[in-house]
């Protein structure tokens, strides 16, 4: 009976913890379902403010709205984090017209974000159609003086979220410069969409400084198909007129609210969405929904009286669409704060060493004179014949012996509740002095995929991990029992992070899924050594 009692107590604790978690989740769900403000907030953001490209008057309106919305939701602390953002303006309505043997036809186009304009005089030239960069390279001798039409359709066999989009978007991002390399004077890009309508889809392009900047537009899918058919039978000319240009950078802001943690206030959990959108749309999906959901989480937590152990930060990021300046600024200041804290710790450690050296020197003096009193267990004694360097080395050896044994990550397999898993992970991290990653986490990327994020302490740790065979695609595939082609890795040296993307073995929420939110998929990474 004495042996059963601890087990019984543990079971009761775990059961209670699970009940507590489910109770809180139900309370959050009920609060949002009955009193939710997300749709009302989205209506104001999209219908009242509208398109809010970085640098526009609507951007500042959205920042003020977001600040007040976070305050109204109950933020413990609300502020704006300044960052310089690009200021690209469209300058008017984008126009294009096809000239064929059949006559003239207006084309539904929109200038790519960050693209330069044609000027008021416009641009007119014959169109060269290609479906890939490989075909462009093969036809490089035909490109000079022409408008290149990248007619690359979405691959409809790619069913995972953003897979087809990512496959096709390289022509929007790189197409203008790749065409300019061979002397093109303009670019038309098939819109990034599965749709069958004729609404052109904008997005940012990125000019290569090695080549001339040339005007670039996206074309609606119906017009793209029509243009392709005409080019296949006879030469086609297109005239286009766009007025896009860059103005000087302006100051924008990340809008931030906080729910202070009760036990670990300096440990930050970040929730967020980007506040900006393109100028010619309301930005309801990209990313108004993300912003209002972020605010709604804060409001619901406050409404039910939830107090997190760690600080939760709710961020409405600036300038995702055509610069990523807001996210970069947030990461920069977070890193600076981390480095400042590390420096303070280093100063404290140096002070401790100084005290230890002083104690060692005192022991040396006593060795030359009268015998010292029996030392306390925590005092450092200079032994006869020892130098200061010898004492330091002996201190290191003794400290190494005193370290706690490593806690195996396999303990995660026996942790049944979320709190137990968090406790095990914390113990593993605290006891592993060789760790290079500061944060390892996982989350769903839609119901079929999961992403894993690894953040590193410093540049040296990041480079060590990035170059390690332990994190190559073959190793990760073997670790998770997947094919190499199913793993995607994204290296982000600017924020000292590596992101992995892979399919879930079971669709989120389906029978057999034991991790609805994909938050426990990082466990196997804890055993890696780089």
Higher-confidence position of 435 and 373: 435
Q: What is the DSSP string of 394-455?
A: HHHHHHHHHSPPPPPGGGGGG--SHHHHHHHHHHHHHH-TT--EEEEEEEESSSSEEEEEEE
**C-beta separation of 274 from 292 below 8 A:** no
Token readout for 388 is: 């200061």
Residue-wise pLDDT for 85-101, tens only, equals: 999 999 999 999 999 98
| Residue 524: DSSP 8-state | G
Active-site residue identified among 320, 321, 341, 419: 320
CB atoms within 10 A of CB 484: 12
| CA gap 15, 93 in Å, rounded | 62
**CA-CA-CA-CA torsion sign (174, 180, 184, 185):** positive
Cα 475 from chain centroid (whole Å):
23
Token readout for 381 is: 């004694």
| CA gap 422, 269 in Å, rounded | 14
Residue-wise pLDDT for 383-411, tens only, equals: 555 565 666 666 666 655 554 445 555 55
For the ranges 122-131, 345-354, 440-449, 484-493, the maximum mean pLDDT occurs at 122-131
CATH class belonging to 95-243: alpha beta
Q: What is the DSSP string of 361-377?
A: HHHHHHHHSSPPPPPPT
Query: In this model, does residue 106 exceed pLDDT 90?
Result: yes
Specify the pLDDT at position 188. Answer: 98
Are both 36-88+251-323 and 95-243 of the same fold?
no
Query: In this model, does residue 463 exceed pLDDT 80?
Result: yes
Reported confidence tier of residue 189, pLDDT bands at 50, 70, 90 = very high
Q: What is the mean pLDDT of the chain?
A: 83
Topology, domain 36-88+251-323:
Aminopeptidase (3.40.630)
Specify the pLDDT at position 259. Answer: 96
Per mean pLDDT, which range of 57-66, 150-159, 251-260, 414-423 is the poorest? 414-423
Query: In this model, does residue 268 exceed pLDDT 80?
Result: yes
Between strands 245-259 and 310-317, the pairing is antiparallel
Between strands 449-456 and 497-503, the pairing is antiparallel
Specify the pLDDT at position 523. Answer: 81
Specify the pLDDT at position 470. Answer: 85
| CA gap 116, 213 in Å, rounded | 7
CA distances (Å), 527 to each of 244, 416, 440, 476, in order?
51, 19, 12, 12
Reported confidence tier of residue 166, pLDDT bands at 50, 70, 90 = confident
**C-beta separation of 458 from 526 below 8 A:** no
Give me the residue spans of the domains in the chain.
36-88+251-323, 95-243, 434-527
Let me know if 320 is a catalytic residue. yes
**C-beta separation of 313 from 257 below 8 A:** yes
**C-beta separation of 100 from 83 below 8 A:** no
Residue-wise pLDDT for 503-513, tens only, equals: 987 888 776 77
| CA gap 112, 129 in Å, rounded | 18
């Amino acid at each position: 009976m004495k042996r059963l009692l601890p087990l019984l107590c543990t079971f009761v604790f775990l059961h209670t913890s699970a009940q507590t978690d489910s109770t809180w989740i139900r309370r959050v769900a009920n609060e949002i379902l009955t009193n939710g403000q997300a749709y009302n907030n989205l209506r104001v953001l999209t219908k009242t403010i509208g398109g809010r490209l970085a640098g526009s008057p609507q951007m500042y309106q959205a920042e003020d709205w977001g600040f007040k919305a976070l305050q109204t939701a109950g933020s413990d602390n609300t502020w704006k984090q300044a960052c310089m953002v690009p200021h690209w303006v469209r300058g008017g309505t984008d126009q294009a017209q096809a000239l064929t043997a059949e006559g003239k036809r207006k084309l539904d186009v929109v200038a790519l974000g960050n693209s330069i304009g044609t000027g008021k005089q416009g641009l007119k030239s014959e169109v060269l159609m290609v479906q890939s960069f490989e075909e462009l390279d093969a036809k490089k001798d035909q490109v000079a003086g022409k408008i290149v039409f990248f007619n690359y359709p979405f691959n409809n066999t790619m069913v995972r979220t953003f897979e087809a989009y990512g496959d096709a978007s390289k022509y929007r991002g790189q197409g203008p410069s790749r065409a300019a390399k061979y002397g093109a004077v303009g670019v038309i890009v098939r819109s990034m969409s599965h749709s069958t309508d004729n609404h052109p889809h904008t997005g940012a392009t990125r000019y290569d400084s090695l080549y001339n900047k040339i005007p670039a537009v996206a074309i609606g899918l119906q017009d793209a198909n029509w243009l392709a058919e005409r080019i296949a039978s006879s030469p086609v000319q297109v005239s286009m007129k766009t007025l896009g240009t860059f103005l000087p950078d302006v100051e924008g802001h990340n809008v931030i609210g906080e729910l202070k943690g009760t036990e670990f206030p300096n440990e930050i959990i970040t929730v967020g969405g980007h506040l900006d959108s393109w100028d010619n749309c309301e930005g309801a999906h990209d990313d108004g929904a993300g912003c209002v959901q972020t605010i709604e989480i804060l409001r619901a937590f406050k409404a039910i009286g939830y107090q997190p152990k760690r600080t939760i930060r709710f961020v409405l990021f600036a300038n995702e669409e055509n610069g990523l300046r807001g996210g970069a600024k947030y990461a920069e200041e977070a890193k600076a704060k981390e480095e400042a804290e590390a420096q303070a710790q280093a100063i404290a450690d140096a002070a401790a060493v100084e005290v230890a050296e002083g104690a060692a020197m005192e022991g040396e003096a006593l060795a030359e004179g009268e015998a010292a009193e029996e030392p306390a267990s925590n005092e450092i004694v200079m032994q006869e014949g020892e130098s200061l360097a010898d004492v330091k080395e002996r201190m290191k050896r003794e400290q190494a012996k005193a370290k706690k044994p490593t806690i195996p990550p396999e303990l995660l397999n026996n942790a049944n509740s979320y709190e137990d898993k968090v406790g095990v992970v914390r113990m593993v991290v605290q006891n592993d002095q060789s760790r290079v990653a500061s944060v390892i986490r996982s989350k769903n990327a839609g119901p079929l995929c999961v992403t894993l994020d690894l953040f590193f302490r410093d540049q040296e740790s990041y480079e060590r991990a990035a170059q390690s065979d332990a994190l190559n695609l073959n190793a990760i595939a073997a670790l998770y029992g997947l094919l190499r082609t199913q793993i995607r890795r994204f290296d982000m040296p600017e924020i000292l992070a590596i992101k992995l993307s892979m399919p879930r073995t079971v669709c989120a929420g389906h029978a057999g899924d034991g991790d609805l939110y994909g938050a426990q998929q990082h466990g196997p990474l804890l055993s890696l050594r780089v």
